[in-house]
Amino acid sequence: MLLVASVAALGGLLFGYDTGVISGAILFIQKDFSLTTQLQEFTISVVLIGCIAGAAVSGWIADRIGRRWTLLWAGVVFIAGAIISALAPGEPVLLAGRFVVGIGIGFSSVVAPLYISEVAPSNVRGALVSLYQFAITVGILGAYLVDFALAPSGNWRLMLGIAVVPSLALVAGMLLVPESPRYLFKTGRDLAARDELGRIYGEGGGPAAEERSIRESLAVKSGNPLLLLADRSVRLALFIGVTLAVLQQVTGINTVIYYGPQIFQMAGISSNSASILAETLVGTVNCLMTLVAIFFVDRIGRKPLLYAGLAGMFLALAALSYAFSQPHLSGSLSAIALGSMMVYVGCFAFSLGPIVWLLIAEIFPLRARGLGMSISTLANWVGNFLVSQFFLTMIQKLGTPLTFATYAVLCVVTMLFVRTMVPETKRELLEDVSMKVAAEAT
């Protein structure tokens, strides 16, 4: 299961690399193509338009051709996007290449956690789905290291083109792993599904219990996927999934991922290499703190980690807002900014980062899982696009202190939503989670 989850998580690594690499590459693309502030924002955020497009259709495709084949084709899309971006002769072709990359990210962001959640035993499902988020952080950190290594030469084409390597690994790996047993049951291939459940659980009652819960879930006829939204339990799950997905973004995480070097330059770190190095330190914290979720999410639960992480994110953003508002702190502003961003990213890494992806893979019934995850992830990418597209504009219009204070307030809003609406799903069978949501809906 660890091997299967690791192969699927390569989609997360590409997600992280392709979203993180632009933060350093844009410093040199801006000079080569003489980009305005608005074009810088669009060069960064156009990938998110592709993500929105990919997320919108990936659930439907995964229900038609399977989770495994959808991820394989996502790898092919990643390869095409990386090559187009690296060879772009001008800004229009670069934008096209980044859009194609975004489609691949949109596919993997829906189907990779969906696939992992459907093949993972319930007692380690949280850890294995969190492995997807860990792969995202590894990809982001790898992007920062590549940016830092290539900063002296300013070779942004190589920065973008290196993504071909993990893309090939994803395609090769998906040729070797099995299909989701839940998808096999859903499409009537019962013998193959039982074989996969036996491989997951070994001997004992595990496979039989899983099969019973899956069949109970499938006993409700799905019909037209859009008609599922008439089901109150599906609507409640969708409300929880969409809201969590949006809150994950509007608390500001991708301002750090996409604009970290610019934020550090605002704080007084002047050189490109130094600002990228500072961002690399933040990326290291992001990667390491995700391990906290992997080790503890199945032990202490989803909600306690969310509370702890959101409280830390609020304090870090409040400190960052205060520091930027005080002129007398200008001499030490860079150190305060670096420390605050490390705390903020570290707290996100063991809470909102992995657990949102985990929860939206858990709360939907099997008959609506592809549709529900697709819509929730689509909302996530819309929020991501809006935050990244308007961050520099918010800085210009509201000022840096008020911008970070807004994100801090949204952390409190997220904590209240988790307290009132989000179920605890630790160690429950996947179909039992959706039954809990259905009970809440009635």
Instruction: Quote the CA–CA distance of 171 and 74 in Å, as a whole number.
Output: 8
| Reported pTM | 0.80
Summarised one tens digit per residue, pLDDT across range 393-409 is 888 888 888 999 999 99
DSSP string, 224-247: SGGGGGGSHHHHHHHHHHHHHHHH
Instruction: Quote the CA–CA distance of 9 and 298 in Å, as a whole number.
Output: 19
DSSP string, 166-180: HHHHHHHHHTTSPPP
Mean per-residue pLDDT, 106-121: 88
Q: How distant, in Å, are the alpha carbons of 240, 331, 370, 432 from that of 323?
A: 34, 11, 44, 47
The pLDDT, as a whole number, for residue 219 is 66
Q: Residue 283: enclosing H or E segment and its boundaries?
A: helix 272-296
| pLDDT tier at 154, thresholds 50, 70, 90 | confident
The pLDDT, as a whole number, for residue 246 is 95
Q: How many CB atoms sit inside 10 A of residue 413's CB?
A: 14
Q: Is pLDDT of 413 > 70?
A: yes
Determine the residue type at 216.
E
Q: How distant, in Å, are the alpha carbons of 166, 259, 369 from that of 429?
A: 32, 40, 15
> Please, what are the domains in the chain?
2-177+220-441 (1.20.1250.20)
Residue in 18, 14, 25, 13 with CA at minimum distance from that of residue 276: 25
Q: Is pLDDT of 84 > 60?
A: yes
How high is the mean pLDDT of the chain? 86
SS3 state at 186: helix
Provide the b/e sequence for 6-34 (b: ≥16 CB within 10 Å): bbbbbbbbbbbbbbbbbbbbbbbbbeebe
Summarised one tens digit per residue, pLDDT across range 341-380 is 889 999 999 999 999 999 998 888 877 888 888 899 999 9
Residue 350 burial (10 A CB sphere; 0-12, 13-18, 19+) = buried
Write down how long the chain is: 442
Mean per-residue pLDDT, 148-170: 92
**Helices (DSSP H) in 87-229: which residue ranges?**
91-119, 125-150, 156-161, 164-174, 181-186, 190-201, 206-218
The pLDDT, as a whole number, for residue 251 is 93
Q: Which of 41-45, 127-131, 144-148, 173-177 has the lowest mean pLDDT?
A: 41-45
Summarised one tens digit per residue, pLDDT across range 217-233 is 666 555 555 666 677 87
Identify the DSSP state of 327: G
Summarised one tens digit per residue, pLDDT across range 19-55 is 888 878 888 888 888 888 778 878 888 888 899 899 8
Q: Copy the structure tokens of residue 176.
A: 């070797």
